[in-house]
Structure 1
Amino acid sequence: MTAKTLVGDLGGTNLRLALTDGMALEAEIRFLTAEHEGLESALDAYLDGLPAGHRPSSAILAVAGPVSGDRFTLTNCPWSFSRHAVAERYGWSRFVLLNDFSAVAAGLPYLQKQDLEQIKDGTVLPGAPKLVLGPGTGLGVGVAVPSENGWTMIEGEGGHVSLPAGNAEEADLMQRLGNGDVPVSAEEVLSGSGLVALFNAIAERDGRADRVGAGADVVARLTGDACPVACAVMDRFSSFLAGVAANAALTVGARGGVYLTGGVLAHAGAAFREDLFRDRFTANARMADYLAAIPVYRIRHPEPGLFGLRMLARGVSGA
């Protein structure tokens, strides 16, 4: 039997696990982090459910947060664990830990046409860096750059850059969100909790009594007789995301394309204002032509993180 590698995508809300030989994924299961005390609890449940002889000898885990040293603590979840202790507990000869959006970035060069929906015109420049952004529980950012051995992922924390205001309305909202003098990070707006913050700030500004407590409440108000505050939230969200994406694309030279994913976009669906995104993405007087040439896609692959991890397990990209 071919040795299998356990691959996992651990975010603030979900842990997705699967086995792979590099060619396909099998035994995929999703766990809610809120239903387990920590990583080992979820791993025990997963591994105990595998048939005899299917336990993996190695693992690659993508995690939502900066990876450094032996101990890792998630940014938006109370889980914390020692990489060495986990590997020893399960007898893994190899346990790779990397940022979750580095895993997504690892799969970008290998996504097929059916995995993507182009929302902004442009032409992919072969051999140029590729950028991915994903608003979900937090805001993930990943970059894949060409190297001698294929592609290399650059780990960073792009979701925590300061959010740029593009006009007076956005500047006013940022004043409200930051209580006047505290810088607002991109993740504080471009995430599930960010939808809540935007909604309540806009409702307060407009003198409305409406308030929400979860991102799902905002999304629910976008259907049927769409709530004007929820529509305003999606307008601002789409524009803010474009501003962050454009700045990141200029920083890394992402002429290989910009890719959008994440739970917020998946749930927002057609309510995401692609027209506003396109307008704001190129709203740079000096670099408008540069940005206009960069194509932007929405990733339609159901599990881009696990797909990228499969590529890493396969040895296509360096882990």
Structure 2
Amino acid sequence: MPSSNFQSVLAADVGGTHARLGWVELPFDPSQAPRLLNHKRYRCADFNGLEFILQRFLADCHGSADAIAIACAGLRVGDRVISPNLPWALDLTALQTVSGELPLSISNDFEALARASRWLPSNARTLLCGKECGPGESRPILVLGPGTGLGAAIRVRVSAHHEHVIATEAGHAGYAPADQDEVALLAHLQGIHGHVATEALLSGPGLLRIYGAVCAMQQQAPKAHSPEAVSALAASGDDDCAMRAVRMFWDALGNVVGNLVLQTGCFGGVILAGGVLPNIDFGRAQSDFATRITAKGSMQPAMENVPIYQIEHGELAIVGAAMAFANRQ
């Protein structure tokens, strides 16, 4: 492709745990897919701020940028980004210094993932439940993912090569229990934290919270002290509390997915991403995940048709960050 047909964008997908950066060739023609070139992943906690990660990437992967595009977990309010899941505050002034005279775009990480999901091939997603949708699906689609927090965005198709994407902070809405076990779980966590956001349960740290609460309610000493250890214990079958925590996670996720579909009108489908689900996928079959999605009273017939997909999004949101920049031009 001739260089005049695309822009070179230094793009970053910044989550609570990792920052993924890469060079993206962004075509001016929206019918052409962006192309991700060199990319690297860095642990956010190893740096004192995003500006230092950008500088490190530029040293590791040389290139010439036409713009810098950052997709970050959190909500931008004026010159401030509210992002409680990052290990440091996002310093927009410092980022402007790094970008210099280059255009600088800031978007939500799940907005970016939702934008880039249009280029996801059908064989890169797994249908968990519901009915497969066709390539011409025009109803809104929800992109949701438990990671360090719980990200969510809505993608609305406008034409063959254009969508509106709405970033949300659904993960910070209050958690709503669906059975007596979850009522007890919520009461336990409210006694400790007060407000219990949905992402306080549906995230990596949330899995650990569920496990700790189950252990406390069953008067058992916890054997695991990280989300990874909880999932490993549950997979081994050697810890009843860990297995119950994983089942409760999937049950709660199903309830939240179903509620969000109804609240947002995303009957075109749901794409589940994030780093947590691949580690606990073994527990879904033993849970009521699919039943919780569809058990919505008179809406059950409609909910049974909603396709629920799972993906491993990898570097997809890096491309989405560049797409968000293009959308803001």
Give TM-score, length-normalised by structure 2.
0.88
- Alignment of 1:151 onto 2:163: yes
Residue aligned with 2:11, SS = strand
C-alpha contact 1:114 1:300 (8 A) present in aligned 2: no
1:55-94 matched pairs, under 5 angstroms:
55-94=64-103
| Aligned counterparts of 1:66 and 1:25: Cα–Cα separation in 2 | 26
| Aligned counterparts of 1:259 and 1:214: Cα–Cα separation in 2 | 26
Residue aligned with 1:231, SS = helix
1:200-219 matched pairs, under 5 angstroms:
200-219=212-231
- 1:286 is matched with 298
- 1:165 is matched with 177
- Alignment of 1:49 onto 2:60: yes
1:1-319 matched pairs, under 5 angstroms:
2=3, 3-22=7-26, 23-51=34-62, 54-124=63-133, 126-147=137-158, 150-179=162-191, 182-273=194-285, 276-312=288-324, 315=326
Q: Taking structure 1 as reference, are residues 218 and 84 closer, same or farther at Cα in structure 2, changes over 3 Å only?
A: same
Query: How many residues matched?
Result: 315
Residue aligned with 1:122, SS = coil
C-alpha contact 1:61 1:97 (8 A) present in aligned 2: yes
| Aligned counterparts of 1:55 and 1:74: Cα–Cα separation in 2 | 29
2:127 alignment partner AA: Q
C-alpha contact 2:22 2:37 (8 A) present in aligned 1: yes
Gaps spanning 5+ residues in structure 1: where? none
| Aligned counterparts of 1:205 and 1:185: Cα–Cα separation in 2 | 20
Q: Taking structure 1 as reference, are residues 135 and 224 closer, same or farther at Cα in structure 2, changes over 3 Å only?
A: same
Residue aligned with 1:78, SS = coil
Alpha-carbon shift at residue 88 of structure 1 (Å): 3.7
1:237 alignment partner AA: F
Q: Which deviates further from its counterpart, 9-18 or 211-220?
A: 211-220
C-alpha contact 2:71 2:106 (8 A) present in aligned 1: yes
Residue aligned with 2:22, SS = strand
Q: Which deviates further from its counterpart, 63-72 or 205-214?
A: 205-214
Q: Taking structure 1 as reference, are residues 257 and 274 closer, same or farther at Cα in structure 2, changes over 3 Å only?
A: farther
| Aligned counterparts of 1:180 and 1:31: Cα–Cα separation in 2 | 33
Alpha-carbon shift at residue 89 of structure 1 (Å): 2.9
Deviation per CA, 1:66-116, whole angstroms, max 9, x where unpaired?
A: 022223353212322343542343324211111111111112332111210
C-alpha contact 2:154 2:166 (8 A) present in aligned 1: yes
C-alpha contact 1:57 1:92 (8 A) present in aligned 2: no
1:8 alignment partner AA: A
Deviation per CA, 1:276-315, whole angstroms, max 9, x where unpaired?
A: 21011011112111211100000134333224335446x5
| Aligned counterparts of 1:290 and 1:226: Cα–Cα separation in 2 | 39
1:61 alignment partner AA: I
Gaps spanning 5+ residues in structure 2: where? 27-33
C-alpha contact 1:99 1:155 (8 A) present in aligned 2: yes
| Aligned counterparts of 2:66 and 2:96: Cα–Cα separation in 1 | 10
C-alpha contact 1:59 1:92 (8 A) present in aligned 2: no
Deviation per CA, 1:26-52, whole angstroms, max 9, x where unpaired?
A: 11100101100011111111112233x
- 2:29 is matched with none
2:288 alignment partner AA: L
Q: Percent identity?
A: 28
